[in-house]
């Protein structure tokens, strides 16, 4: 961890290092216009973060907006049938997230927001930190892969204030395979200038194809209730284990 070099004072009175000040100045001119940045509503932020866990920003934006038009509050979502929630999620992938979000909304409806946000279904340490920072103003830096990459490459310790700026730098400039150092505000102080990361291990062919079989099977059940013997039985068993479908007397349907 580096000490903040050449400390300055931000408008809120916090002392920030020169590197972070440079990053925040860049963000002031280059920030992406994303709808969840215009709110501090914890439910809206939760919806965005769960969608963003495994789906790209461009695909999430229209689905996030549609979701909030349909279910504007945690209580509205909590009161909806699980089947409607699964259908609305179609196209976002990793369907278990739909059920977790539904259960998280039921937790909030019944007991309010927990002190420890990881008690909500589908909320791990990263999503809890993002929700804590963006909705509740907590002094925590959510570290997703992009933020971790910028920290690792620059060797700099950023504060919670830099969260959104780090996400944008990591997503648009400090890319893993082809970093755009010529566009980076931190290039002159970056020890990793011009270096790229080795490719990561991708999902195995088997994991990828089973995920697709699950997705395709769920889509068939979303269309209409099916006979069990029309469907891929391993995929049905896996979906039923997650509560995404109900199997009863040879019929497979969405949960109510």
Binding site for ligand ADE (CB under 6 A): 34, 36, 49, 52, 57, 130, 144, 167
Report, in Å, the least distance between residue 26 CB and ligand ADE.
Answer: 16
| Residues 21 and 185: beta-carbon distance below 8 Å | no
User: 30 vs 57, which CB is nearer to ligand ADE?
Assistant: 57
Active-site residue, selected from the candidate residues 2, 20, 49, 151:
49
User: 179 vs 231, which CB is nearer to ligand ADE?
Assistant: 179
Exposed e or buried b per residue across 28-37, where buried means at least 16 C-beta atoms within 10 angstroms of its C-beta: eeeeeebebe
Chain residue whose CB lies nearest ligand ADE? 52
The residues with which 226 forms a beta bridge, in sequence order, are 252
Report, in Å, the least distance between residue 6 CB and ligand ADE.
Answer: 29
User: 75 vs 118, which CB is nearer to ligand ADE?
Assistant: 118
Report, in Å, the least distance between residue 171 CB and ligand ADE.
Answer: 6
49 is catalytic: yes
HEC states along the chain? CCCCCCCEECCCCCEECHHHHHHHHHHHHHCCCCHHHHCCCHHHHHHHHHHHCCCCHHHHHHHHHHHHHHCCCHHHHHHCCHHHHHHHHCCCCCCHHHHHHHHHHHHHHHHCCCCCHHHCCCCCHHHHHHHHHHHHCCCCCCCCHHHHHHHHHHCCCCCHHHHHHHHHHHHHCCCCCCCCHHHCCCHHHCCCCCCCCCCCCCCCHHHHHHHHHHHHHHHHHHHCCEEHHHCCHHHHHHHHHCCCCEEECCEEECCC
Report, in Å, the least distance between residue 31 CB and ligand ADE.
Answer: 10
The residues assigned a catalytic role are: 49
């Amino acid at each position: 961890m580096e000490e903040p070099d050449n400390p300055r004072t931000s408008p809120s009175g916090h002392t920030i290092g020169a590197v972070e000040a440079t990053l925040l100045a860049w963000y002031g001119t280059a920030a992406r216009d994303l709808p969840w940045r215009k709110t501090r509503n914890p439910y809206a932020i939760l919806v965005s973060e769960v969608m963003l866990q495994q789906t790209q920003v461009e695909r999430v934006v229209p689905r996030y907006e549609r979701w909030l038009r349909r279910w504007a509050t945690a209580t509205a979502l909590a009161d909806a049938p699980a089947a409607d929630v699964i259908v609305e999620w179609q196209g976002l992938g990793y369907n278990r997230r739909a059920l977790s979000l539904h259960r998280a909304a039921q937790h909030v409806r019944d007991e309010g927001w927990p002190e420890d946000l990881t008690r909500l279904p589908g909320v791990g340490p990263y999503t809890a930190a993002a929700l804590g920072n963006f909705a509740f103003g907590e002094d925590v830096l959510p570290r997703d892969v992009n933020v971790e990459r910028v920290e690792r490459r620059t060797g700099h310790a950023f504060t919670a204030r830099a969260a959104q700026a780090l996400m944008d730098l990591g997503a648009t400039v400090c890319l893993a395979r082809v970093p755009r150092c010529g566009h980076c505000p931190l290039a002159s102080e970056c020890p990793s200038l011009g270096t790229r990361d080795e490719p990561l291990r991708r999902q195995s062919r088997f994991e990828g194809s089973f995920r697709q079989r699950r997705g395709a099977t769920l889509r068939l059940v979303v269309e209409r209730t099916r006979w069990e013997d029309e469907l891929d039985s391993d995929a049905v068993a896996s979906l039923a284990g997650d509560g995404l479908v109900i199997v009863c007397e040879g019929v497979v349907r969405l949960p109510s």
